[in-house]
Amino acid sequence: MVDFAGSSCDTERYVVVIGGMNMDICGRPTAAIVDRDSNPGKVSLSVGGVGQNMAQSLAHLGVPTYLVTVYGNDANGRVMERTCRENGIDLEYAQCLDDFRSSTYMFITDETGDMLLAVNDMDICEQITPAFLKTRLDFINGASICLLDANLAPETMKWIGDNVTAPLFGDTVSTVKADHFLPILNKMSVLKPNAIEAAKLSGIDIHDKASAEEGAAWLMDKGVKTVYISLGIEGILCASRTSGVEEMVHVPPYPTIIATANGAGDTGMAAITWSYFDDPNRPIQEVGHIAQAASSIALECTRAVPDIDVQKIRNKMSAPLSVA
Ligand SMILES: Nc1ncnc2c1ncn2[C@@H]1O[C@H](COP(=O)(O)OP(=O)(O)OP(=O)(O)O)[C@@H](O)[C@H]1O
Ligand SMILES: [Mg+2]
């Protein structure tokens, strides 16, 4: 059984998340969609963005969490500001920008909830520039962990790699954006791609455990210290290389009744970050169990970000793992 150090009560320590926050607008038709027509259904709004999602889970896990991001001075921006406050995410080092639209992600699903198409309006993320971060650098460097999402532009990533001294953790977000981490792989303490993002980064076709191990080895050859590759129903590959000693271990998922597939990876990455914040010396296999427990909790919840807490992770971990 994993011992939870509970160090999250320490108010001196904090995590900084640098990344995207957007308003998600979802349209789900009641019946099979009719193209180029008005389809009856449900339209719902929620605050998303990988950076914000991870910040929300971290805050719920008791970590003092600062989200460094930008949002517009518009109706969506005000909703996002209020929601962050309600979720315990500190926006003191974020900025509301007058002349920009808040980042918005609009998607339409089929009647079962599977995404059919999306339009993302995330240009405002480009305002997270080196100049923007420079004024916050001392605070960022005071963090126990600086967690990045791949919504940041490559030159911003590069600047972070050159200037941020706090341990860098990252989620690669999507195959299109994963490459944004390429300039700073050698600066990353922890990176979590999923299988196709790791394949995009490494050029290795990741389709089973052996090829996932090859992908992890490629990332560690580039200088990432610890890699977690989430493999959907196959669980997670945990890999690390310290002082020339390599360790790789597969952790299968916990039995899960899926309510929605959205956001399990984000919650898993937040739990990985929490795990290091709580105890930086925890074995990677235990971190993998924590990630799988958190992802399972996310999959069983209809919202992208579940109401997670440490006790729920603990409860989940008392269930037997699925057979790998
Ligand atoms: N059917 C399932 N049962 C249990 N766990 C699952 C299942 N599918 C995925 N998971 C777990 O959820 C986590 C996230 O999975 P995945 O590999 O899809 O990451 P991701 O693509 O980054 O997700 P996201 O779309 O949230 O970014 C993984 O750790 C994975 O093992
Ligand atoms: Mg993901």
Helix (H) or strand (E) holding 188: strand 188-192
Of ligand 1's listed atoms, the one at least distance from the Cα of 50 is 27
Q: Is the CB of 151 under 6 A from ligand 1?
A: no
- Taken in order 60, 285, 173, 265, the sign of the CA dihedral is negative
In this structure, are strands 41-48 and 95-97 parallel, antiparallel, or unpaired? unpaired
Does residue 190 form part of some domain? yes
Residue nearest to atom 2 of ligand 1 (CA): 233
Could you report the per-residue pLDDT of 220-247, keeping only the tens digit for each? 999 999 999 999 999 999 999 988 899 9
Distance 95 CA to ligand 2 centre (A): 25
Q: Is 67 in the pocket of ligand 1 (CB under 6 A)?
A: no
DSSP letter string, 226-265 = EEEEE-GGG-EEEEEEETTEEEEEEEPPPP---S--TTHH
The residues, any chain, with a CB within 8 Å of residue 278's CB and separated by 6 or more, are: 4, 5, 6, 7, 8
Asked whether residue 4 is domain-assigned, the answer is no
Provide the pLDDT for residue 260.
Answer: 81
pLDDT of residue 116: 94
pLDDT score for 114: 84
Ligand 1 atom nearest the C-alpha of 291 is 29
How many angstroms separate the Cα of 290 from the Cα of each of 22, 69, 262, 294, 298? Answer: 27, 27, 18, 6, 12
Q: How many angstroms separate the alpha carbon of residue 34 from the centre of ligand 2? A: 30
5 domain-assigned: no
Distance 261 CA to ligand 1 centre (A): 7
Model confidence over 51-84: pLDDT tens digits? 999 999 999 999 999 999 999 999 999 999 999 9
Domain limits for position 136: 11-317
Residue 57 inside a domain? The answer is yes
Is 324 within a domain? no
Tally of domains in the chain:
1
Residue 6 lies in a domain: no
- CATH code: domain of residue 305: 3.40.1190.20
Cα Rg, the chain, nearest whole Å: 19
Ligand with an atom nearest the CA of residue 171? 2
Quick check: is 2 in a domain? no
Does the residue 177 lie in any domain?
yes
For ligand 1, whether the C-beta of 232 sits within 6 Å is yes
Residues of the chain with pLDDT under 70: 1-11, 323-324
57 lines ligand 1 (CB under 6 A): no
Please report which helix (H) or strand (E) contains residue 132, including its range: helix 130-134
With a 6 Å cutoff on the Cβ, whether 259 touches ligand 1 is: no
